[in-house]
Amino acid sequence: MLLGSELTWTLAFVVPYVVVFIAFVVYPVARGLWMARDPSLYRALLADPLYARTVVNTALYVGLGVNVKMFLALLLSGFFMRRRWWIRALLPVFMLPWALPSIPAFVSFHWMLIGEEGLVDRLLWVLFALPGPLWFNNRWLALAWNVVAAVWKWLPFWTLTFLAGRMAIPRDVYEAADVDGAGGARRFVHIVVPLLANLYLVCTLLDTLWTVGDFTTVSLVSEGAPAYSTNVLATLGFQYAFDAAQPALGVAAVMTALPVLVPVTVLLMRALHLRQVQL
Amino acid sequence: MTRPRPAGGKRWLRRLFLESASAALALALLVWSLTPVYNMLLIALDRDEGDIEFAGILWPPEPSLHSFHAVVTQSYWLVEDFWHQLGNSFFIALMTMGLTVSIGSLAAFAIGRMRFGRGWLLVNAPLLTYAVPASFLVIPFTRLMASYGLSNSLWAIVAANVTFATPYAILILRQYARLIPLELDEAARVDGASPVRVYRLIYLPLMAPALAAVGTFALLLAWNEYLYQYVLLSSTRNMTVAVAIAQFFNSDEAPWNYMMATALLYSLPPIAIFYALRRYMAAGLTRGALKS
């Protein structure tokens, strides 16, 4: 039951966010949908081989990127739980990719891979006397490096999230398992997995939404090369809008991801609504 | 009676294996995390402007701080506004951080603590923001900013950043607030404290770790953001360092060592702030996630 004055207070507290939401979410989305309302835009997209290719790239980039990131983050969070001084000392260094801004990081990735002058090929030559390939001349290699760069940048963030999740598991649960003689693997399967399952799901869904919208990685690491074949929807929309001066087509291209994004968002809301884990 | 020896020996072997595997993993993570940063340093320390020649070496023959000097003294046309642009980046980042923390904490307080947030829409509306990613909205957003009179304005970037940082902030703050017993609020209310006093004197101080985590998240988001800055900020004076770095790619004879030096200098502030607030991060991020 809300008293009159309490209602006023509550409204006062949410007003700033409601204003932001309406002015910068509802209105731009409505405007975007309005710009992309013409069905002929979608016929143009389907007729463009670049678009079909981009959809495949986006699915691979998101599917591989998110799952590799989450799985490694879950395992590494266990590694960082170990009580060794040198593992503790490593954690801040491991966090560096997250603290490093995207632009410098991805520009550096691009320069590491620009052929024989790049650090990766130089290392291959010095260490193994192997001539490295021209990474950005091959669609699959370039796509793979986009995924690697995204994993590099965001792995620390998710590792830290899972690490915090593991630290929230009370010590006595582990101790009880120790008394029962459960080793590392069984402890992982019977304690960590069930207790972190919902957190893992929430993080996977959230990162899926963020990765679908990722523009910076692809636009700086592979730059879409070779010949626009590694574009994802975010960069393709940008190219349609700004390089080809067809803003409506650009908006239509990205809006075709909505049939995937909306269900993922609904799943995320439901996962957050589950009472999380009863101990 | 003594334990049979093979078991003891096995245990010792297992320990040895575990420790050496950990050490190998630690070394691999060290190389993985530092290589791209090392690469930046390598190019920035090269004296020659432009081409890095392949010589099979992993360290510049004559490392020099010349490029850093050029950037700091703004003595090349592509970096001639470096300090001003760094100021712009700071303005955007700090405004994003401040507004995200205040708007996010007010909304999270109202939704989570004021017996108001039972409405499905109000609880979930923030997350709806992520159904349409920021990069997908850049075109309508640009037009919108023109009609709000905010084209080429730093405030347009702040608005975009706050819009996309706040939903996550509300999510984290609500999770963390579960650790603070509601009885505390109620006791204060019975004593006649207004919601503003409860918010200021109970909620904010107890939420400090989560606020630091959310603030750092917003700051890093702003410092990472590039697309909106690139599209919306057109004049050199209003550019940020992120856009200035991208400008090197549009120039024909760009000195890459200057670009990397700029990029390294641009990386220092968020790294410093991140490590200063790091203590709070782990505590704030998911401490409440397992409680229900």
Mean pLDDT of chain B: 83
Nearest to A32 among B137, B159, B160 (CB): B137
A279 in a structural domain = no
% chain A with pLDDT above 90: 48
Domain contains A6: yes
Kindly state whether residues A11 and A79 are assigned to the same domain.
Answer: no
Residue A256 DSSP one-character state: T
Question: Does the pLDDT value for residue A277 go beyond 80?
Answer: no
pLDDT bin (cut points 50, 70, 90) of residue B195 is confident
Residues A24 and A54 in one domain: no
Tally A–B CB contacts below 8 A.
Answer: 278
CB atoms within 10 A of CB A193: 12
What size, in residues, is chain A?
Answer: 279
- The two structure tokens encoding residue A19: 């204003």
Mean pLDDT of the B89-115 span: 90
Residues in B touching A277 (Cβ below 8 Å): 290, 292
Sorting pLDDT into bands at 50, 70 and 90, what band is B95?
very high
Contacting residues of B for A161, CB less than 8 Å apart: 285-286
- Selection from A29-43, A55-69, B76-90, B225-239 with the highest mean pLDDT: A55-69
Per-residue pLDDT at B1 exceeds 80: no
What is the pLDDT confidence band of residue B250, given thresholds at 50, 70 and 90? confident
| Chain A interface includes B267 (CB < 8 A) | yes
Question: Does A145 lie in the same domain as A120?
Answer: yes
Q: Is the pLDDT of residue A279 over 70?
A: no
Q: How many domains does chain A have?
A: 2
pLDDT at A276 over 80: no
Contact B287 A277 (CB under 8 A): no
Could you read off the pLDDT of B222-241 as tens digits, one per residue? 998 989 998 888 887 888 99
In this structure, the answer to whether residues A156 and A80 fall within a common structural domain is yes
Cβ neighbour number for residue A30 with a 10 Å cutoff: 11
pLDDT mean over B184-198:
83
Q: How confident is the model at residue A3 (pLDDT cuts 50, 70, 90)?
A: low
**Residue A9 maps to a domain:** yes
Same domain, yes or no, for A22 and A110?
no
Residue A121 in any domain: the answer is yes
Residues A79 and A171 in one domain: yes
Q: A32 CA to chain B: closest CA distance, Å? A: 5
Q: What is the pLDDT of residues B140-177, one digit of tens each?
A: 998 888 888 888 899 999 999 999 999 989 988 888 88
Q: Lowest mean pLDDT of A224-228, A244-248, B49-53, B162-166, name the range.
A: B49-53
Same domain, A127 and A215: yes
A266 in the same domain as A148: yes
The CA-atom distances, in angstroms, between B2 and each of A238, B6, B7, B249 are 73, 12, 11, 72
Contact status, residue B92 vs residue B154, Cβ threshold 8 Å? yes
Check whether the bond before A263 is cis (ω within 30° of 0). no
Q: What pTM did the predictor assign?
A: 0.88
- pLDDT at site B166: 94
pLDDT of residue A5: 72
Residue A188 above 90 pLDDT?
no
* B115 close to A (CB below 8 A): yes
Contacts B129 to A, Cβ<8 Å: 21, 25
Domain assignment present for A104: yes
Task: Convert the pLDDT of each residue in A97-135 to its tens digit.
Answer: 988 988 889 989 998 888 777 888 888 888 888 888 888
CB contact under 8 A, A25 and B104: no
Angle in degrees, 0-180, between the axes of helices A102-112 and A139-167, rounded to the nearest 10: 140
Which pLDDT value is given to residue A1?
A: 40
Please tell me if residue B35 touches chain A, with a CB cutoff of 8 Å: yes
Contact flag B106-A97 (C-beta cutoff 8 Å): no
Degrees (nearest 5) of the Cα angle A235, A239, A243? 155
Q: Does B134 contact A at CB distance below 8 Å?
A: yes
When pLDDT is averaged across residues B258-279 and rounded to a whole number, the result is 87
Q: Encode pLDDT of A194-224 as tens digits.
A: 888 888 999 999 999 999 999 999 999 998 8
Instruction: Give the DSSP H/E element, type plus range, for residue A4.
Output: helix A4-21
Q: Which of B270, B217, B275 shows the shortest CA–CA distance to A92?
A: B275
Looking at the structure, do residues A173 and A225 belong to the same domain, yes or no?
yes
pLDDT value at residue B23: 92
State pLDDT tens for residues A18-40.
899 998 899 999 999 999 899 99
pLDDT at A2 over 60: no
Domain-embedded: residue A187: yes
Residues B179 and A109: their CA atoms lie apart, in Å, by 41
What is the reported pLDDT for A192? 82
- In-domain check, residue A102: yes
Q: Do both A3 and A57 map to the same domain?
A: no
For residues A70 and A31, membership in a common domain is answered with no
* Residue A118 lies inside a defined structural domain of this protein: yes
Q: CATH number for the domain including A219?
A: 1.10.3720.10
What's the pLDDT band for A42 if we cut at 50, 70, 90?
very high
A109 lies in which domain range? Answer: 50-273
ipTM value of the model?
0.85
Mean residue pLDDT across chain A: 87
Interface of B with A in 68-97 (CB under 8 A): none
Domain check: are A128 and A7 in the same one?
no
Q: What is the pLDDT of residue B57?
A: 60
Confidence tier at B282 by pLDDT (50, 70, 90): low
Residues 6+ apart with CB under 8 A from A16: B102, B103, B106, B107
Rounded CA separation B109/B274 (Å): 25
Residues of B in contact with A93 (CB under 8 A): 29-30, 33-34
Q: Do A87 and B26 touch (CB under 8 A)?
A: yes
- CA dihedral angle for residue B15, residue B20, residue B22, residue B28, rounded to 10 degrees: -170
**Which of A8, A13, A130, A207 to probe by mutation at the B interface, max B CB count within 10 Å?**
A13
pLDDT at B291: 45
